[in-house]
């Protein structure tokens, strides 16, 4: 029960820090368009806060921490940090396929069709929708 409340507190803190500290600095303010840049991030943050509060007030289930799961979580976080570094230095077009392939191989995906879709089609669709259709800059 204590671990549930600790994780819920972390999620609440994360949501609040996103809304009040990170998003005001990182998201540009625009007053035109039918979807403003801060709309979806704010919705996701408020959902994090809401679900964190629900978990904090009504903790359920038994938490069983296993070292190998913690290790895999750390590896995924390290890969994500490396991907952010890659986005900054090499751009989305080059980094996203490598990041997608790495994550897919880590989770055990070996089917060629799914690997090709995940490595080429999904990053292309993200680039197309964000950069070309919405006109937003991807690094």
- Is residue 118's pLDDT more than 90? yes
pTM: 0.64
Closest by CA to 25, choosing from 11, 13, 41, 12, is 41
Domain layout of the chain by residue ranges: 2-57, 67-133
Condensed to tens digits (0 to 9), the pLDDT of residues 24-52 reads 998 888 777 777 888 899 999 999 999 99
- Per-residue confidence (pLDDT) for residue 34, from 0 to 100: 75
63-69, long-range: CB < 8 A, 24+ apart:
63/3, 63/4, 63/7, 65/3
């Amino acid at each position: 029960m204590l671990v549930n409340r600790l994780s819920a507190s972390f999620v609440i803190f994360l949501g609040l820090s996103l809304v009040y500290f990170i998003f005001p600095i990182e998201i540009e303010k625009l007053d035109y368009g039918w979807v403003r840049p801060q709309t979806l991030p704010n919705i996701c943050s408020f959902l994090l806060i809401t679900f964190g509060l629900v978990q904090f007030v009504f903790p359920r289930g038994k938490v069983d921490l296993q070292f190998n799961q913690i290790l895999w979580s750390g590896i995924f976080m390290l890969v994500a940090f490396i991907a952010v570094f890659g986005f900054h230095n090499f751009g989305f077009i080059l980094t996203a396929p490598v990041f997608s392939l790495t994550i897919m191989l880590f989770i055990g995906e070996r089917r060629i069709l799914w690997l090709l879709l995940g490595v080429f089609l999904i990053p292309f669709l993200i680039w197309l929708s964000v950069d070309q259709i919405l006109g937003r800059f991807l690094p």
